[in-house]
Homo-oligomer: A and B are copies of this chain.
Amino acid sequence: MVTIYDIAEKANVSAMTVSRVINNTGRISEKTRAKVKKVMEELNYVPNQMARSLVLQQTRSLFLLITDITNPFYTTLSRGAEDAATKNGYRLLFGNSDESLEKEADYINTILTTRVDGVMIAPAGDPSLPHLESLKRHNIPFVLLDREVPGVDCDIVLGDSKEGARQLVNHLAQQGHRRIAMVNGSDTISSARLRLEGYREALILNGLAYDKTIVFETSYGPRTDLSEMEAWLDSLNPLPTAVVAGNNVLAIEVIRLLRKRSLRIPDDISIVCFDDFGPYSEVDPFMTVAAQQAYQFGYLGMQMLIDRIQNKDEAGPWKKIVLPAELLIRRSVSTIK
């Protein structure tokens, strides 16, 4: 491995002079600068970021931890985050926790040991609290995405889950649906709680009763085994005329089960969900959704994070951005006379 000492020796200067050329600091004569640069090229020199970070006590890199890399909500969010990070001269690294607290813990460990300058994180849920406390303890600035965690004060970007759920249910009610089921993410996740609340409130506002036997709670992430969900679905008698899914992944899984039973959508049963399907909705604009501004989640969150990092001393009040969801009416809901 070529080091600044190798360069220094070959160029007949001190290592410090090489460092100055690399970083464009201090005073260097044009002649020496040229000489050093030439040697660097000749030897294919690449600075060692670890050595540098060790002394500088900063890495110029940020971390984005999402819970499902195959979910277009998060990949679109990632693009927003990436754009904002790059624009500000930061390197962005990604991690995927898979909605798992254990994987999240591993990534938190990576984050702490590699001393990144800041973190954007979609927490696995309320039990992520110790992970976030750990970040706090070690003074690593972070921004929460999409999910609040009780007991944690920080900058955060949220979607308006309650209002989004209300819109979905209102739409179904307006189309004449009276028996509306819900498949939702875990109760330990703030957005799931709010979506359930919105669902409930909208039911009542539309003169419908809330019936907890037609609400199924599970994980937001894709599961390998659908049998539990299947058992729940089979237990419903009569079948609901519509299902609200807590996110796009759940919607797909419900659809898979419905297809298995040869139930047609929307003829036999209607379905709506949170989050759009990225570009794939265009292939066939089928699902009626409450679309969230995924790109903005990432972009705005990243701006907040960088802001926080660069003004670490000032420590203004915590900021909270709430982005509204938009109801996109497509073909997955039937009208009931």
Contact = CB atoms under 8 A, between A and B. Distances in A.
Given A93-B93, A94-B93, A286-B284, A54 B44 contact: no
B283 A255 contact: yes
Interface string A271-297: 000000111101110110000000000
A174 interface: no
Interface of A: 1, 44, 46-51, 53-54, 57, 59, 61, 69-70, 72, 75-76, 78-79, 82, 86, 91, 93-96, 103, 106, 109-110, 112-115, 134, 137-138, 222, 249, 251-252, 255-256, 259, 277-280, 282-284, 286-287
B79 A75 contact: no
Nearest to A114: B49
A contact patch SS: helix
B49 A113 contact: yes
Contact of A54 (B51, B75, B95, B138): B51
Contact of A48 (B54, B110, B256, B280): B54
A222 B279 CA distance: 9
A46 B278 contact: no
Contacts of A54: 48, 50-51, 54
Closest 3 CB pairs of A and B: A49-B113, A94-B94, A280-B280
